[in-house]
Structure formats: C-alpha cells, structure tokens
Structure 1
C-alpha cells in the first residue's frame, strides 16, 4: 500500500489551488473544473469542490469545517518561509518554534481555515529521522 494523497474539499477550488500554488511553489494540475492536484514529491494535495462529494453519493466532507487535520510540508528554512508567508496566509497560528521532538515548525491557516504546518528538522536526531 502507498499513501498517495490528501484531498481537501472546498467551496472555491480556484481560490484554494491558487493559495497552495503560491504557498508551496507547486503548480496545480487541473483535472476538471471542480478538481485540482498539486503533485508533491512524496504525496499529492488534491483539492475538490463540494460538488465532487455527490459523485461518491456522500455528503460526508463539509468545506471549511476541519479542526482536526494538519497538512504538513517539509521545507528547507522555516524562518524564511515565515517571512514569505506573512501577508499571504490569512492567519499565522504559531510563529517559527522548535518543537520538543526536534522539528522547527510554522503553523498557519489556509483560506478555508485548514491548519498547515511548514516544518524542518532542527536537531541531529530529527535530521536522522528524515534521512531515511
């Protein structure tokens, strides 16, 4: 089994795709008007319209209501990303902070209120975990 993607359901695919293009530098691939993907090195961020849930015959995903999942991106320099994202991200939740497990972390919200973590290993032990 291979973990392939995370999908965010939104009421405005274009707005969210543009935000993530600017935040990550990854260009979105548009597979349909209501569905875009940002293909990362290890996982794809998929962005789907709330309309796509009808194709599954389910209304289980509700846009702009997530308060449990964090979308995490490994970056080179958290502090540089903080400077770049200030003004782009609607809300900075936590300025760059070194966490007890050795990662330097920046938490912010995307335009739908989803929590995003840009992080980088900051200790030798944390770097060793990501060297695998």
Structure 2
C-alpha cells in the first residue's frame, strides 16, 4: 500500500479565532473556508506542503452524534482534552516565542525531554493541544 496523511481534523468553537491562530500566528495557508457563522469548515496547511492539511471543523456537526455526545465533546474541549496535534520545526525556540507573543496559552515551555526530543506545547483558541517538536 502507498499511503500518506492528507488531512487531520481538529474541532473549533470560534472559527474566526481559530483562523487567526492557524493563519496569522502559525502562518498556515487557508485552503478553503466554507459554511457560515460557527458552522464553518476551514482547511489550512503549511506553506509549500499542499498535500497535508488540517480541517478545522465545528464539533458535533455529524448528524449521527447524539446530544449526549455533543455535551461530552463540549466538556472535553472546555478542559482542553479533546483534540491535539504534534507539529515539527527546526526552530523551536523562535516558534515558541512567536506563538507566546501572540497570546496563545502556554502549556509547556521548550523542554529537553528524557526520551530524546525537545518540545513545547500551547492550546489553540478551541483548547486543542498543539505540541511543537524540534527537528534537526
């Protein structure tokens, strides 16, 4: 099999705040923005990597999800335990300072982990954990 990762999904509860974080703070390209109000599906991706995207989607929009499941998702998002992603950068300290200066919630400052990586973590406006791992 020849497989690649095309798109991953993260929830948002404020499409404008999420768009500002992913586009303006992290510098991702907006590939599509459809819907209206809070029911917007926004696809973003790193510049120069057209085959890899993140779909920022309203949580619980699937008609097959029950009201109980919607409440559970909302509660997990409020606690910051629902969605997360791991990004890679050769300039961890510079990336950290840029994202912190933009006002993102810092979860972990750059740290040399005992398992051999240097990383840091933030929360995006929806509470998703966004970890940055340094690559050389």
Work out whether the TM-score is over 0.5.
yes
Give every structure 1 segment of 4 or more consecutive aligned residues whose post-TM-superposition deviation is greater than 6 Å: none
TM superposition shift of 1:30: 2.2
Q: How many residues align?
A: 120
Instruction: List per-residue Cα deviations over 1:104-127 (Å, max 9, x = no partner).
Output: 101111111111111113xxxxx5
Question: 1:74 pairs with 79, 88, 91, which one?
Answer: 88
Q: Are 2:114 and 1:100 equivalent residues in the alignment?
A: yes
In 2: Cα distance, 1:9 partner to 1:45 partner: 10
Q: Is the 8 A contact 1:74 1:120 kept in 2?
A: yes
TM-score of the two chains, using structure 2 as the length reference: 0.73
RMSD: 2.3
Q: Are 2:72 and 1:58 equivalent residues in the alignment?
A: no
Q: Are 2:36 and 1:39 equivalent residues in the alignment?
A: no
In 1: Cα distance, 2:104 partner to 2:131 partner: 14
TM superposition shift of 1:86: 1.5
In 2: Cα distance, 1:48 partner to 1:89 partner: 22
In 1: Cα distance, 2:131 partner to 2:122 partner: 7
Structure 2 unpaired stretches of 5+: none
In 2: Cα distance, 1:26 partner to 1:74 partner: 13
Greater relative contact order (CA < 8 Å, ≥ 6 in sequence): 2
